[in-house]
Chains A and B, each alone.
Chain A
Amino acid sequence: MRIAIPKGRLQDKTLALFAAAGYDVPTNDDLRTRKLVFARGGIEWIFVKDCDVPVYVEHGAADAGVAGLDQILEHECGAYQPVEMPFGNCRMMLIAAPGAPPLTKIATKYPRITHQYLDSHTLRAEIVPLGGSVELAAVLNLTSHVIDLVETGETVRVHKLELQDLVAEISPRLIVGKSIYRTEPKRIRELIARIEEAKNASTQSQVA
């Protein structure tokens, strides 16, 4: 079985949850080698950019992985999403500078989700796809608005921008490819059950 772990902000918590579920996950020493593939305990762990996890799982290059709902929606990923993770929650927001002109252009890393947002609100605007630092587009008047993830809101405050509308609540999910579900259902169900159990234990310990 091959599991895709997202590099970046979700990596450590994802590995900790798999470890809590009893999986032999790559250690920090392993990760310092800069390798991206590790075979441990019968599982091949691959480390990929968070936006690529749905692509790997959807196309069967990985059997399971952890991906944010933002990436799942943006890639129209049809993989199963059996477990919502207890960490990494954030919101996808429509953001603008105070006194911004009417919505005419939106900068975003999520053009597909933005299309859907505009369609569902019967709005018309030009979408400007950007690779990162999306808030700058609103600060520098490149676009009237931006759509981006907001975790603490600090970036928005620092740039004196304002939150205008909620586009989606975003949470990371365990995603599972349909092929492994069809061909090795017992094995993948065991993984799902162990992750669900570790998640519940973690949630309960936080409550206590």
Chain B
Amino acid sequence: MATKFRYPTGARPLLIEETARRRRIESRFVSILESAGFSEIVLPIIDYAEPYAPILERGSVRQSYRFVDREGELVGIRSDFTPMVARALAPSMSPGELLRVFYRGDVIRCEASRLGANRELFQIGAEIVGDPSPAADIAVMRLAADILRAFDAKPLVVYNDTSLVAQFDESTRTALTTKRMRDGLPPLAQKLIAGTATIDDVRAFDAQSAERLDAIARELDPDEFQLHLDDIDENNGYYTGLRFRLFSAGSRTKLAQGGRYDTLYERFGTPAAAVGFTFTIDELLERRPRAGWPEDVSSSRRRDAAEPAAETAAFPE
């Protein structure tokens, strides 16, 4: 009886209006992705845990619900699309084949990724498989930005190259990931922490990364696509190069993320470069005006109160 009215933490139904809104958002996504030449694939909600064991970090494993099925196999509920896409596509891919695919569905995670967030998240993502060029990186970031623009929001894409940090020793990586300056750091690490590093600084350290970042940065509007060389994570999971996050300009809620994972397909049988992104649609559904945060906080509150739907109005109501 205690659970008569409750749902498990992080799970909830969408009722009529929210469902209709989600479906409208979803259909707009599908329309844009199909127009861009992407084809849909459908992935199972459960899969054996074993094929993913060498790939997933401890944190990702902890995030997934797992159980032993009747045959005694360890099975996980889908918590991340990207490795599942690789496992599904890799065995049937021919060397050199180029694919553009998209997918949609729920992922279920034991721990919500942020306060009050759902454990059940509806995601839509897209990938270009088989193209290792910077042009594919650019195409994927532009597509993510275009999707957001289709909802009348101004996109802000923050990107970096994860392969850089992997080349530093552990102690330097700690300084970089905490953003704390200390004596004895390599010159590039000092500049990264100070926020003054440029692609030219990277060139002396890793010419290949610098060349690639240069090729990407040259093609993109720097107001909308910002290269943050210092945006370094402690854990890059399966990402091998480009990594990016998409925000609606003026908001601090991450709406999508993506990047390049060139070694993932190889683990499932066929070497293929891949780059993609995933939108969490719940973030779009839940968006509330928190934009701007101008100098006068109290006046921004008044503005928010007067225009409660200012930011959300752009999304299908």
A residues neighboring B (CB under 8 Å): 1, 39, 42-44, 55, 58-61, 63, 78, 80-84, 176-177, 179-183, 185, 189, 192
Contact = CB atoms under 8 A, between A and B. Distances in A.
Given A39-B298, A42-B296, A182 B178 contact: no
A194 B281 CA distance: 38
B247 A182 contact: yes
Q: Which of A61, A80, A189 has the most CB of B within 10 A?
A: A80
Given A82-B193, A182-B158, A182-B231, 18 more contacts: A1-B293, A42-B296, A43-B297, A55-B115, A58-B114, A60-B114, A80-B179, A81-B180, A82-B179, A82-B181, A84-B180, A177-B252, A179-B253, A181-B231, A182-B245, A183-B247, A185-B228, A192-B179
Interface in B154-180: 156, 158, 177-180
Ranked nearest first, the 6 interchain pairs of A and B with the lowest CB-CB distance are: A59-B115, A42-B295, A179-B252, A80-B179, A39-B297, A82-B179
B42 to A, nearest CB: 32
A4 to B, nearest CB: 13
Interface residues of B, number: 26
Contact of A82 (B156, B178, B253): B178
B96 interface: no
Contacts, number: 57
B195 interface: yes
Contacts of B251: 183
Contacts of A1: 293
B254 interface: yes
B206 interface: no
B305 to A, nearest CB: 15
Contact of B114 (A44, A59, A182): A59
Contacts of A185: 195, 228
Nearest to B177: A80
Contacts of A39: 296-298
25 contacts: A39-B296, A39-B298, A42-B294, A42-B295, A42-B297, A43-B297, A58-B114, A59-B114, A60-B252, A60-B253, A61-B115, A80-B179, A81-B178, A83-B180, A177-B252, A179-B247, A179-B252, A179-B253, A180-B252, A181-B179, A182-B158, A182-B231, A182-B247, A183-B156, A192-B179
Q: Which of B195, B231, B247, B251 has the most CB of A within 10 A?
A: B195
Contacts of A82: 178-181, 193
Interface in B270-299: 293-298
Q: Which of B156, B178, B228 has the most CB of A within 10 A?
A: B178
Contacts of B293: 1
Given A183-B156, A189-B195, A80 B178 contact: yes
A2 B247 CA distance: 19
A165 B228 CA distance: 41
Given A43-B297, A60-B253, A78 B179 contact: no
Contacts of A189: 195
Nearest to B116: A59
Contact of B254 (A43, A179, A181): A179
A82 B177 CA distance: 9
B214 to A, nearest CB: 20
B57 interface: no
Contacts of B231: 181-182
